Structure 1
Amino acid sequence: MVVELGRLLEAGSTGMGETVIVLERRHGQRPGAVDGLTLPLTAEQRTSMRGRRTTLCGREVLLQLPRQGPLVPGDLLSDRQDSNLVRVMAAEERLLEVRAESPLKLLQAAYHLGNRHVALDLQPDRLLLLDDPVLAAMLVGRGLHVRPCKQAFQPEGGAYEGHHH
């Protein structure tokens, strides 16, 4: 049974009549490229180049991409023959929006969250982070304004994101 399932996946079939699109190529950003399917991915999913995902219209795809850093919203992916184009988008996620009375307080919040290795989407007047009740309580305790929201999450990549050994 395991061998048979492996053959089905290699062939790109679900065994249920619909073919799974196996995405093996990354094309980066191509403005003006003809859009095909749209693939919403969370920030964490954009760092994983392997696994099953589902497009906006419910079509299953299988990622088998080269490891070249995280996917970026707007990136185009395709199968080996370039017959199926899929555009990556940032999926909405449950987040916390953090605002402060002053830029210094917001900077201090970013420092404390960074010290805990929390992924942050840094914006001029607010911080966004994944919803976490413990962190929310800590931030409220520091006098910050915290509210839940749901939107795309695009955290900073970190100092070594583009660095490869």
Structure 2
Amino acid sequence: MFELTKRIDSNTQDAVFDTLTLPYELRIRGRLKAVTDNGHDVGLFLDRGPVLRNGDLLRASSGEVFSISAADEPVTTAYIENGLPLARLCYHLGNRHVSLAIGVDADGRHWIRFPPDHVLEELAILLGAQLTHHQAPFDPESGAYAHAGREQSHAHSHEHSHADGHTHAH
């Protein structure tokens, strides 16, 4: 079994040995056993926190490089007009604290993608979206506190003081 222990820069000159295709629910885990696209057994032994993204590279303890691929999985894609309708739909879906992917297709149509959920789908329709249920990679936005496409812990304090001697904590 290959032990995948280190995230590496995607600009590496090392050749990719194999690809590990995983759905989103497994790409959020730092520890798991899996089988690569070419049938190699691997174990992930990574730090918790950052989600594995489509195209990320991992190095095995024995030196091989493995590429991560986002698997096709059931998704709902909501197509909606750019501008205020898109912003409104993003706001309302995001306010539900669900993971969302946001993009534009080859025809220039704007979309928001999320795991199938009848409540979210009804909301999207009410806000003017046209829905498609299909299989596609799900690689949602990293979130407000991500840096360079990676989630990071939100470790800084939100406390601040004013000259009048009192403080605020968020």
Match of 1:107 among 87, 100, 120: 87
Match of 2:21 among 27, 40, 46: 40
- What is the Cα deviation at residue 142 of structure 1? 3.2
| 2:101 aligned with 1:121 | yes
State TM-score, norm by structure 2: 0.75
The superposition leaves residues 39-65 of structure 1 with CA deviations (integer Å, 9 ceiling, x where unpaired) of 012233222111112211233211012
State TM-score, norm by structure 1: 0.77
Number of the residue aligned with 1:136: 121
Tell me the SS of whatever aligns to 2:123: helix
CA contact (8 A) 2:28 2:49 kept: no
Match of 1:98 among 54, 78, 82: 78
CA contact (8 A) 1:30 1:75 kept: no
- What is the Cα deviation at residue 36 of structure 1? 0.9
Superposed structure 1 runs of 4+ greater than 4 Å apart: none
**Structure 1 CA distance for aligned equivalents of residues 29 and 131 of structure 2:** 29
Number of the residue aligned with 1:161: 146
Match of 1:56 among 22, 37, 57: 37
CA contact (8 A) 1:30 1:76 kept: no
- What is the Cα deviation at residue 101 of structure 1? 4.4
Structure 2, gaps ≥5 residues long: 105-109, 156-170
CA contact (8 A) 2:78 2:111 kept: yes
Tell me the SS of whatever aligns to 2:9: strand
The superposition leaves residues 99-147 of structure 1 with CA deviations (integer Å, 9 ceiling, x where unpaired) of 1245322221111100001111112411111122221122223332111
The superposition leaves residues 47-101 of structure 1 with CA deviations (integer Å, 9 ceiling, x where unpaired) of 211111221123321101234622222222122121x321111111211111124
Structure 1, gaps ≥5 residues long: 1-19
- Report which stretch shifted further, 45-54 or 109-118: 45-54
- What is the Cα deviation at residue 148 of structure 1? 0.8
Number of the residue aligned with 1:15: none
Tell me the SS of whatever aligns to 1:44: helix
